[in-house]
Amino acid sequence: MNEQDYTERTYAGVLGKIVGVYLGRPVEGWAYADIVERFGRLTHYVNDQLGIPVVTADDDISGTFAFSRAVLDHARTGPLTARQVGETWLNYIVEDRTILWWGGRGRSTEHTAYLNLKNGVPAPGSGSARRNGRTLPVQVGAQIFVDGFAMMSPGDPDRAAAHARAAASVSHDGVAVDAAAFIAAMEALAYIEPDLHALIETGRAQVADPVLQHIIDDVLAWCAPGADWREVRERIEKTYGYSVFDGPCPATTNNAAVLAALLLGGDSFHRAVSIAASAGWDTDSNAGVVGALNGIRLGLGALDAEADLRSPVADRLLVVTADGGECMSDAVQQTRAIAAGRRLLDGLPPAPREARFAFELPGSVQGFTPCLDVGSPYTRVAVANVRPRPGGPAGPDASGLVITCAGVTESVAAAVSTPVFLPRADGGDNFSTIASPTLYPGQRVRLTARLALGTSHAAPTLRPYVLIETDARMEATFGPELLLADEPRELVWEVPEVGANPILRFGVAVTSMGRFDGDVVLERVDWSGAPVRHARSGVLMTSIWDLTPEPLRAWVNSAKNFEADFRYSYSVSHPEGTGLATIGTRDWDDYTFTSTLVFNPHERGGLVVRARGHRRYYAAVFESWQRISLVRRDHDREAILASAPFAYTEDVPYRVTVSCHRDRLTVRIDDAEVLTASDTAENAHSSGGAGFLVTTGTVLADGFEVGSLAGPDR
């Protein structure tokens, strides 16, 4: 398999996963009879009929793309272990808020496993039947999170199954782990084998449980050519339905539903996900698994062959974790992350870094859609890709986003934009959505654009812009103009300060002195590293009844109480153990982070830098009123890099700066250097966000400032 084929099939698998989840999500938890009465068979998204967004937070998506980070986070070229995946859970999950169904110990399989991990029981013990009883460990959650691991092992079903078992056993045992290995083996082989029956036979070689073997045999027999999917669904209900097994959501029932949808859908991507989403049971999980497998097996062409399920999604997805800057994502970026994991497992060097938005995959738009907050309603604008969807006309040998404009003038703009943070109204419904923006004032945006071949000779210009929300309306801040021509031209814009509220969208607007009808190609858009300078200061609270004003939404907190303070900017408080509040993205590498800290009673408190999740970071930690230490936290391991006596006092402000530049870390207090260290260990942290830390107590923080230490060409 060549690299391009692997990448495109992985992209199709990621798209298939999110399309299936979004199709089935609105009816998750509905009785089958209610689905039939309201919708018949779900052939397209029904979100508009129910008043909910298509793209929203979901455990199937967040868990799939967060937990597979275990491969990269542990930099493993050998077999992945359950213990490592369990550590990944603890790093990215914010208790009671992200990824999981928090249904309580003894009821929710994943919640129970998380509490075991938190209390010092490593995986696989955390998910074992010996600890959790016979019912909880055999629910559906194991098979819904393994797609990322499978896509890192193309053509290698044994490696995919081994990694799926490691991941599944964090929370599950028995038949549920077999079901996860069954799915992962099929997905891995689907890269090189399109025959569904061959995939099933390979997958079932991973199954030891006799009940699951019987399910596979029965569903194969029931899904003979010409079988009606509703009749097959009734046979599954009678023989393997929820009433047959214990627990709220048995893996066995849902594995039968997945297998039936695959067989009855045949080589129609649309029919298969439609059946999975319409049959009841765990609709979003089952349709997501079916979509991922068939995306890999059938390729991008199958996603575009029937109903258009891609355009409403526009590649967008949310990965809601403690690594807040990774929440706002898209199918292209997740494809790159999976491909990076595959290269690591195969012992290959990392691929060259792509621009944040390079539009390199067929049909990809990476969240860009027409934007009426800036564009005029009196012009027409559409987005597509230079590399079209399969079956479309051939484009030039370059990637890019095509912005098709009609009726553009000096005062009538065409605009497109992509989200870099969530508006408050898009916070989701069933699953908590916490995130940090991906773009900040002080960051340098680089973009390259041109006119498409054959475009009219009008001289349009392109201007980048960002949007924030102020007083319930969108407010745009524009960058400089770029005069477009046939050859690519580059523009660099340092985003200015735009007020206290976070940036919500980044976009480009096209205008022209004379009427312009034609195509503009946005070849790439990029920013990386920490802002040149980004600061917030002052009291954020406007009312004693509003402890979470808009600027606080840019932070992700595992500290139980992270609130605006009536005297300082932030109050960070945690009743027991360690909690964090962080901001920024994982590509912030060389920078300084400064804040004025005021200590209330606590065990430890301070600043963190290069945080990727809330258990992997560096921290300048004040301890017990008498010492300051510079530490590296790596999951449950903490190394002291430097330490010194330092007496500090309650309610006295201390201006603290932590600098990280390459392998050198420095701590300054009130402009005096107190600690410095060099970290060249194999598990040193190279980049990540910044923020505050507190252990059992409260730390107050008055403002913050981030400043890049990278060169001017970043």
CA proximity to 647, closest of 671, 621, 623: 623
One-letter amino acid for residue 299 of the chain:
G
* Exposure string over 50-77, b if 16+ CB within 10 A, otherwise e: eeebbbbbbbbbbbbbbbbbbbbbbebe
One-letter amino acid identity for 288?
G
In the chain, % helix, strand, coil (3-state, to 5) comes to: 30, 25, 40
Secondary structure in 3-state letters for 318-370: ECCCCCHHHCEEEHHHHHHHHHHHHHHHCCCCCCCCCCCECCCCCCCCCCCEE
Strand order across the 401-408 sheet: 380-385, 401-408, 516-526, 444-451, 489-494
- Crossing angle of the two packed helices 283-298 and 269-278, in degrees rounded to 10: 170
Does 282 show up as a binding residue in the annotation? yes
Pick the closest to residue 219 from 206, 200, 203 (CA basis). Answer: 200
Rounded CA gap, 588 and 658, in Å? 14
Token pair for residue 645?
């006596």
Instruction: Please indicate if the annotation marks 96 as binding a ligand.
Output: no
Residues 551, 500 contacting (CB under 8 angstroms): yes
Q: How many Cβ atoms from other residues are within 10 Å of residue 663's Cβ?
A: 12
Residue 151 one-letter amino acid: M
Contacts of residue 224, defined as CB under 8 A and 6 or more positions apart, other chains included, come to none
At which residue do the structure tokens 């497109």 appear? 416
Phi, psi of 525 (to 5 degrees): -135, 135
523 by DSSP, 3-state: which?
Answer: strand
- Is there a contact between 160 and 150 (Cβ–Cβ < 8 Å)? yes
Strand, coil or helix: 450: strand
Contacts of 235 (CB under 8 A, 6+ apart): 218, 222
How far is Cα 368 from Cα 389, in angstroms, rounded to an integer?
16
Task: Give 195's contacts (C-beta < 8 A, 6+ positions apart).
Answer: none
Q: CA-to-CA distance for 184 and 419, rounded, in angstroms?
A: 32
Instruction: Return the closest-CA partner of residue 203 out of 188, 219, 186.
Output: 186
Backbone angles phi, psi at 160, to 5 degrees: -60, -45
60 marked as binding residue? yes
Give the integer Cα–Cα distance in Å for 263 and 253: 16
| Geometric angle at alpha carbon 596, from 590 and 599, rounded to 5° | 120
**Residue whose token pair is 């089935």:** 24
Q: Write the DSSP string, 620-633.
A: EEEETTTEEEEEEE
Other Cβ atoms within 10 Å of 486 Cβ, number:
12
DSSP 40-89: SS--S--HHHHT--SS---HHHHHHHHHTTHHHHTT-SS---HHHHHHHH
DSSP assigned state of 599: E
Q: With contact defined as beta carbons under 8 Å apart, do 424 and 554 qualify?
A: no
CA–CA distance, 400 with 416 (Å, rounded to integer): 14
**Is residue 284 annotated as involved in ligand binding?**
yes
Residue ranges of the binding site for Mg(2+) = 59-60, 282, 284-285
Residue ranges of the binding site = 59-60, 282, 284-285
